[in-house]
Amino acid sequence: MSEPQIQPLPLTPEVEADLAVVKRGCDELLVEAEFAQKLARSRATGKPLRIKLGLDPTAPDIHLGHTVVLNKLRQLQDLGHTVIFLIGDFTSLIGDPSGRNATRPPLTREQITANAETYYAQASLVLDPARTEIRYNSEWSDALGARGIIQLASRYTVARMLEREDFTKRYRGGVPISVHEFLYPLMQGYDSVALQSDLELGGTDQKFNLLVGRELQKEYGQEPQCVLTMPLLVGLDGVEKMSKSKNNYIGISEPADAMFGKLMSISDDLMWTYFELLSLRPMAEIEGFRRDTQGGRNPRDIKVLLAQEIVTRFHSQAAAEQALANFEARFRDGAIPDDLPEVQLTGAPMGILHVLRQAGLCASGAEAQRNVEQGGVKIDGRKIEDKSTVLSAGTYVVQVGKRKFARVQLS
């Protein structure tokens, strides 16, 4: 079945401005020329585009890494388009294999239900609930049945599936790939058919799945969606992507003081990435901040503005102001914060350099050693000057510099 043709329309200054908003901070926009036409048609007809984001409720909490895509959705809402917040209660039963080198165990229905209860409530701190359409992909996926899924599978080839980098590596390495894992990108792609999506968003690790949706829409005679991928936010360690499992994350439901302190702990270079991906300030204003620091302004002052903006968004302006006051008191007086992040480590006795790395307080052994040698590490308020120090089982307050703290339970 041939796909509908998009009639070319002139790109007015308003359309160009909309496109600039959409492209801010993105990794790829596929296909940009097609999406520009969709924007132009929307402007001409007054009909909003349908923008889709699918999230599997694999965990109950959302961190700032998730909000990179949510912020982009909010910007699209502010341009007048319809956002579809799709909860993958069906696809969670399969388990997304993206970027994995082993079969991912599927979640139970009970786990999915429990996680989904808090997912949208947290996402609503970013999105405008009045302009958000909430859907569950079990609505149409359950209705497909075995016959429908077989018919869907006939529209995509194994060769195309093996173009996925993670599948290719596992196949060549002799690592098992379960047949049900091939169903995940198919079912995610069928979501786009069911919702008649104009644009689908996701992280860079979702590119293959998003493109499957585009191809399936062609198969079903629909105008294909465009695809917008957003970078994966680097975590507090400045190395790995933000992840709870790596303990380098900032949860959006964390206390204001903890959130503020973690944001102040990021490096000056990483701060600009956070501004681009997390801040809602105009890029011209952010570029002005960058010029200010090049002219001699302390980057810490700019970082305070970022931390206050984020804390205000997820708490309140009063909470942000109090968090700043509390942070400055700790920074000035060297006081230990009340709401220390809790870290549990196993393998006692453990060397101090290994403790600092495992607790997420230092990104590498070299950084840990440097901090010890420079007198920047304290255990329970006592300065550690010997890099060969070994900690036995117990609970310790570990401090690196003036800003990084953790309560480490070592067993």
| CATH code for the part of the protein at 13-230 | 3.40.50.620
Say if domain 342-410 classifies as CATH 3.10.290.10. yes
User: Is the pLDDT assigned to residue 335 strictly greater than 80?
Assistant: no
User: Is the pLDDT assigned to residue 102 strictly greater than 60?
Assistant: no
Q: What's the pLDDT tens digit per position in 128-186?
A: 888 899 899 999 999 988 898 888 888 887 777 777 777 778 778 888 777 778 888 88
User: Is the pLDDT assigned to residue 101 strictly greater than 50?
Assistant: no
Higher local confidence (pLDDT), 106 or 233: 233
Question: What pLDDT, on the 0 to 100 scale, is given for residue 21?
Answer: 92
Question: What pLDDT, on the 0 to 100 scale, is given for residue 59?
Answer: 67
Higher local confidence (pLDDT), 59 or 373: 373
Q: What's the pLDDT tens digit per position in 390-405?
A: 887 777 888 888 778 8
Question: What pLDDT, on the 0 to 100 scale, is given for residue 391?
Answer: 86
Question: What pLDDT, on the 0 to 100 scale, is given for residue 179?
Answer: 78
Q: What's the pLDDT tens digit per position in 268-307?
A: 889 999 999 999 898 899 999 999 999 988 888 999 999 9
| pLDDT tier for residue 406 given thresholds of 50, 70 and 90 | confident
User: Is the pLDDT assigned to residue 255 strictly greater than 80?
Assistant: yes
What's the mean pLDDT when you consider all of the chain?
Answer: 86
Q: Which whole number is the average pLDDT over 212-232?
A: 93
Q: What's the pLDDT tens digit per position in 31-77?
A: 999 999 999 999 999 999 999 999 877 766 789 998 999 999 999 99
User: Is the pLDDT assigned to residue 227 strictly greater than 80?
Assistant: yes
Higher local confidence (pLDDT), 215 or 157: 215
Say if domain 256-333 classifies as CATH 1.10.240.10. yes
Give the integer Cα–Cα distance in Å for 111 and 269: 38
- pTM for this structure? 0.71
User: Is the pLDDT assigned to residue 2 strictly greater than 80?
Assistant: no
Return the domain boundaries, the chain: 13-230, 256-333, 342-410
Question: What pLDDT, on the 0 to 100 scale, is given for residue 339?
Answer: 64
User: Is the pLDDT assigned to residue 338 strictly greater than 70?
Assistant: no
The 3-state secondary structure of the chain reads CCCCCCCCCCCCHHHHHHHHHHHCCCCEEECHHHHHHHHHHHHHHCCCCEEEEEECCCCCCCEHHHHHHHHHHHHHHHCCCEEEEEECCCHHHCCCCCCCCCCCCCCCHHHHHHHHHHHHHHHCCCCCHHHEEEEECHHHHHHHHHHHHHHHHCCCCHHHHCCCHHHHHHHHCCCCCCHHHHHHHHHHHHHHHHHCCCEEEEEHHHHHHHHHHHHHHHHCCCCCCEEEEECCCECCCCCCECCCCCCCCCECCCCHHHHHHHHHCCCHHHHHHHHHHHCCCCHHHHHHHHHHHHCCCCHHHHHHHHHHHHHHHHCCHHHHHHHHHHHHHHHHHCCCCCCCCEEEECCCCEEHHHHHHHCCCCCCHHHHHHHHHCCCEEECCEECCCCCCEECCEEEEEEECCCEEEEEEEC
Q: What's the pLDDT tens digit per position in 59-70?
A: 667 899 989 999
